[in-house]
Amino acid sequence: MMAFLSKKLGIDLGTANTLVFVPGKGVVLNEPSVVAILLENNKILAVGNEAKTMIGRTPDAIVAYKPMKDGVIADYKVTEAMLSYYIKKAMGGWSFVKPEVLISVPAGVTSTERRAVIEAAIKAGAKNAYVIKEPILAAIGAGIPIYEARGHMIADIGGGTTDVAVISLGGIVSSKSLKCAGNKIDDSIADYIKKTFNLAIGEKMAENTKIKIGSALPVDKEQSMVIKGRDLMSGLPRSVEVKTNEIVKAISKELREIIKTIKDVLQETPPELAADIIDQGIIMTGGTSSLQNLTELIFRRVGVKTTLAKEPLYCVARGTGIALDHLTAYKRMIITKR
């Protein structure tokens, strides 16, 4: 019984999804970072999966809202409500116990943004809240021995941000955060469909297209998919067939930006560590890094072997769990407590 009283939770607070990790249990919750709100009295109707099904389908009185933008809190109140919901859900029957919470933040956050995350977590019912930068957690979760005096490069591509970092001796040597990741890729697919076929599609449709037939490089054996949306001329529903190589073309600009970020970080890396990275390669984490042929594209453009971590979507959440188990060891990475 007493063991339960010091509950710990790790939260990967992402733009697209929020994952909650409980030490000893693993990832107990993986839901979209979406909240549905009733406009007249700002009442929260649904959070997570339930709210996501409402996106693009709500009457005027209800708005489905994503409180995280580009990896940081865009709407403080809604984020607090969302965190509170997830903490309660993960704690199950232990609602009277205030957990210690460790939250991931993008590498490029300002101290104000970091404080906002901590305050939101404490208001949402955490006893203490700590934040650690995402690339470090992604590296820990991917099983990289970050305390070695060796350079490791991690590229964490999520929904809102791409975080690229070189880590050595438990710290970030050089890093860059780019506000271009899965969501921007979805937008570019929707734009392409709009320009090419005069068809408006929702964000869910765009995301499904990316997952089902998307690729970072042109392929010989193309897959195709029927995309449904609204004709912009007639305003009536219509569907078109789209093939993989069209999606490749549609998302190439976003992928170029991601590759440029990887190159920029490599160019700032000390030569000794650069040599390590050539040996170790680049490790990819985050949901968007599972895009077909992305590792191959990076290898071709950057010239460094690139591998996808195991279960890339869960790396950051797993990292929070491992860091929670060894809080004292990771204390020096946690700059602020409040």
Instruction: Kindly state the greatest CA–CA separation across the chain.
Output: 65
- pLDDT value of residue 334: 58
CATH number (domain holding residue 265): 3.30.420.40
Q: How confident is the model at residue 139 (pLDDT cuts 50, 70, 90)?
A: very high
In a domain, 52, yes or no: yes
100-137: per-residue pLDDT in tens? 899 988 888 888 888 888 998 998 888 889 898 899 99
In a domain, 338, yes or no: no
Mean pLDDT of 77-98: 82
* 151 and 14 within one domain: no
- pLDDT value of residue 95: 64
Alpha helices (H) along the chain:
49-52, 76-91, 111-123, 134-141, 182-197, 203-213, 244-267, 271-280, 294-302, 315-325, 327-330
Q: How confident is the model at residue 4 (pLDDT cuts 50, 70, 90)?
A: very low
- pLDDT value of residue 23: 85
Sequence-separated (6 or more) residues with CB below 8 Å from residue 45: 36, 37, 38, 51, 62
CA distance 116 to 100: 17
Burial 232-245 (b: 16+ CB within 10 A, else e): eeeeeebebebebb
* 101 and 199 within one domain: no
Mean pLDDT of 37-47: 84
Can you read off the two tokens belonging to residue 69? Answer: 């933008």
In a domain, 179, yes or no: yes
- pLDDT value of residue 3: 45
* 210 and 68 within one domain: no
* 174 and 302 within one domain: yes
* 76 and 153 within one domain: no
Mean pLDDT of 220-242: 95
- pLDDT value of residue 137: 92
- pLDDT value of residue 94: 65
* 300 and 329 within one domain: no
- pLDDT value of residue 43: 83
Domain count, the chain: 2
Mean pLDDT of 163-185: 92
Mean pLDDT of 213-238: 96
* 296 and 169 within one domain: yes
* 197 and 126 within one domain: no
- pLDDT value of residue 93: 65
* 329 and 303 within one domain: no
* 56 and 122 within one domain: yes
Strand duo 8-13 + 100-105: pairing: parallel
* 152 and 64 within one domain: no
Residue 127 belongs to domain spanning:
2-136+315-333
CA distance 153 to 102: 23
* 287 and 193 within one domain: yes
Mean pLDDT of 131-158: 92
pLDDT > 90? residue 42 = no
- pLDDT value of residue 6: 56
